[in-house]
Amino acid sequence: MGDIAGRADLDVLLARFYGRAMSDPVLRPVFVDVMRLDLDEHLPVIGAFWEQVLFRTGSYSGRTMDVHRRVHQRIPLTGSHFTRWLELWERSVDELFAGLVAEEAKAHAGRMAAVFLRNLSAAPVRGSLPLAPA
C-alpha cells in the first residue's frame, strides 16, 4: 500500500469516500436530500481542493466555509455529521493509502471538521438559503 501521490490517487480516494457518504444514514440526508450533490460536478472541485491542501498546486479557489454555511442554513450541521464524515474519510484513507501524505489528509480533515463545526455552531440558522455558489 503506497502513499497518496497525486491527483489520480485523490480521485480514487474521493470516489471511495463519496460512495460511502452518499449511502450513509447520517450523511445521505445532507448530501442527497438537501444538497442534491451531483458527483460529476463535485468530484473535480473537491479533488482540486485536496490537491491544493496536500500538494500546494494552487488549483482550488473556492470558499469551503461559505458552501458549508449555505448547507447549514438548510439543515443544521451538527457534531454527529462531522464525526461521521471524519470516520468515513479516515476509513477510506486507511483502506487505500499509508504514508505521510495519507496521514496529513486525515489530520487536515480533522482540523477542518473542528473549525467548520465551531464556526457553524456560532452561526444562527435563519431559514433556507439557496445552495448555489455565491
29-44 tens-digit pLDDT: 999 988 898 999 999 9
In a domain, 130, yes or no: no
pLDDT tens for 42-78 read 999 999 999 999 999 877 777 887 888 888 888 888 8
Sequence-separated (6 or more) residues with CB below 8 Å from residue 30: 71, 75, 77, 81
The residue among 117 and 5 whose pLDDT is bigger is 5
Domain count, the chain: 1
Domain that holds residue 79: 7-122
pLDDT category of residue 134 using cuts at 50, 70 and 90:
very low
In a domain, 127, yes or no: no
The C-alpha cell at 109 is: 480533515
CATH number, position 41 = 1.10.490.10
In a domain, 12, yes or no: yes
Supply the pLDDT for residue 17.
98
